[in-house]
Amino acid sequence: MTVWSDKISSLSAFLSIVLRVAIALMSGSCRLSYTFWSVLGLFSVASLFLVSNSNSRLPRVQNSSSARLFLRDFEPLSEREGWVWLGENVYFTSDRGRSWSIVPLPLREGRRLAAVDFGSSINGWALLAEGTEEHANSLLLARTSNGGRDWVFIPIPLAAEDRFLPIDRYYLTVWDGGTLWVVQKLVSSANFSIGILYRTFDGGDTWQRLQLPIAEPIQAESARDLWLRGGPRGNEIYRSSDGGVTWVQILSDPLQAQLLSEEARELRMVSALVGWKLEREGWCELESEMSSSRTDSRQSLRCRQEERLWSTRDGGHTWAPIPLPNGQASLSTEETIQTGVFIPLSSRALGEQEPDAPLIAWMQGHGFDKCEVPSLEQLSVWRTQSPYRAVNLYIGGANRYCSNAALSPEFIARLREQGWGLIPTWVGLQARCTGHKHRMSKYPPKAYLEGRSEAENATLVAQQLGLTTPAGNGSVIYYDLEYYDIRNEECNQAARAFISGWVERMNELGMIGGVYGSGRALSQFADLPNPPPVIWAAHWVYPAYTPEATVWDVLGLPNDLWKDRQRLRQYAGGHAETWGDVTLHIDSNVMDGIVSFHFYIPGGLGYQSYFPFISR
């Protein structure tokens, strides 16, 4: 039995969420307050609005199959030589990009290129991934010594516990013909960086499975001296002196710290003088806006992106463009994208007299998440010059990784002045069968109580930050539940009880209890006594912002679950994007669901000034 049957319309599903909030607003009172009646009255307004605009909604399309080129990786080998991974092909140049030759790859149906590393025009390695929703993952290492005309295949014997992991990012590092490292990065929220390392010293005859402190590319100085840079905060440095068996965090290293800047992540130096860098830039401007009522706004944004490859021969003092294999100086895209928001407001004017209006909205468009919230200045630029309309906030929880010290009621108010939709996220206890530090009980009755406790803690923090009404209700919080093995029955039953407790207590508090997770895990919650009313699914299918991304076709999650404006979807893992000269390292998301939105307007602020994206 599914949560939402085919007979439940988008209207009834959305209004049922708001009704839950309205009922909670009157709980504890012996009479129906004016606030309750005003909130309840919005249902007729919302019904008329949704029905009258049913034909003008943004289309609910499946993932586009259009071939969009991404420059996925590159490496200079000398002053004149280097390679790029563009689209599904690898190209080599020996004249600084004036001409390129394609490297034949051993691809076939069901097999994709996961990573590549070439030491010259003839000697190279390719990591090939196979696997579908129904079958286990498998990895092949392929080696060529004649420029791709022939390949030798070496299976990588994955451990049994790794064969069903949601791996969507791979890194391959080759030191010599026999020493290689393969990093597999799990799909996760921006709060985590989880990965597994496989190492060989004999060209792939034998492999060793090792642990990683963060899931980032291996930077090798020798077969034993390795570096890792990045992590959820973006500023972590680890060093290994034994080829990756053990790692030590380096707290102070000015040279390594320089390599951690957002721009330096796309810089590859062969020597102190010679190197390449990838430059990504983007701009958006408002093209048109349609507002059928003061509670509805749809925007058309014209967005342009460019990717350019540059080379230096003087240590970065001067840079020259490298022509790309497609014959262009850059990869350029220019597209019109649609965004929309529906605000379930009553028909009365907003202001001090209505402090308990619910703080949610249905949004369509794109959002992003980042472990540490960006500055207000950075967010202001992105709000006007990027396609993103919502930002995630990690507000707390035992497993929250970044401090997010900037979060405060004043900070939240400024975000809302800028016009952002907000995705409050709680990173509490994780499943028992994972390696996380703070985990839930393996006993379902106790896990259920822990879920209820997390709901109380999350709601209290949200209230303190100004993310709820003054009474502490009327908003949405998503629980970040990372990947766990649903085949482990004991673990899965405890997680189900935990989420049931989370959702139940959030409902009692007048809040909406959403859940972030992998598709397979989320599907296990569909038949709970207290199923999540909204979800945030993680399935990476693109390397960066992609306007064609949709909330549908999530691995392990049927499209007929949470189908009525109830989904957010994380479609791209950690990567750098530049909009309006501000570069951030983010995960990308697409929305067709519920976010936090501030309807209560403090004294002295008018409706037009408080919602700039509508007033435009």
Residue 260: pLDDT over 80? no
The per-type count for the chain, helices as H runs and strands as E runs, is 10, 29
Predicted TM-score of the model (pTM): 0.85
Q: Is the distance from CB of 12 to CB of 313 less than 8 angstroms?
A: no
Q: How many Cα atoms are found within 13 Å in the side-chain-facing hemisphere of 367?
A: 31
CA 170 – CA 443 distance, rounded (Å): 35
Q: Hey, what are 504's tokens?
A: 């139940």
Distance CA 115, CA 172 (A): 6
> Which residues, including other chains, have CB under 8 Å from residue 439's CB and lie 6 or more apart?
429, 430, 431, 432
Q: Find the farthest-apart pair of alpha carbons in the chain and give their distance in angstroms, rounded.
A: 82
Strands (DSSP E) contained in 443-503 are 476-480
CATH number of 10-63+334-615: 3.20.20.80
Domains of the chain by residue range: 10-63+334-615, 110-269
Cβ 575 vs Cβ 586: under 8 Å: yes
Buried b / exposed e over 585-616, threshold 16 CB at 10 Å, is bbbbbbbbbbbbbbbbbeeeeeeeebbebbee
Which are the contacts of 208, defined by CB distance < 8 A and separation ≥ 6?
A: 198, 199, 200
61: DSSP letter: P
pLDDT classification of 351: cutoffs 50, 70, 90 = very low
As a whole number of angstroms, the distance between CA 187 and CA 185 comes to: 7
Amino acid in the structure at residue 616: R
At 102 the pLDDT is 95
pLDDT given at position 154: 95
Name the one residue in this structure whose structure tokens are 């912002």.
Answer: 545
d(CA 286, CA 367): 17
Query: Would the pLDDT of 128 be above 50?
Result: yes
Mean pLDDT, the chain, integer: 84
> How far apart are the C-alpha atoms of 85 and 116, rounded to whole Å?
8
Band (pLDDT 50/70/90 cuts) for residue 290 is: confident
Tell me which residue has tokens 């991404």: 70
Rounded to the nearest 10 degrees, the angle between the axes of helix 376-385 and helix 409-418 is 20
pLDDT of residue 591: 97
- Which of 341-377 are b and which e, b meaning 16 or more Cβ less than 10 Å from the residue's Cβ? bbbbbbeeebeeebebbbbbbbbbbbbbbbbbbbeee
Beta bridge partners of residue 422, listed in sequence order: 391, 596
Q: Is 295:607 a contact under the CB 8 Å cutoff?
A: no
The per-residue pLDDT for 355 is: 53
Q: How much of the chain exceeds pLDDT 70, in percent?
A: 79
Q: For residue 176, name the pLDDT band (cuts at 50, 70, 90).
A: confident
Looking at the predicted structure, is the pLDDT value of residue 78 above 50? yes
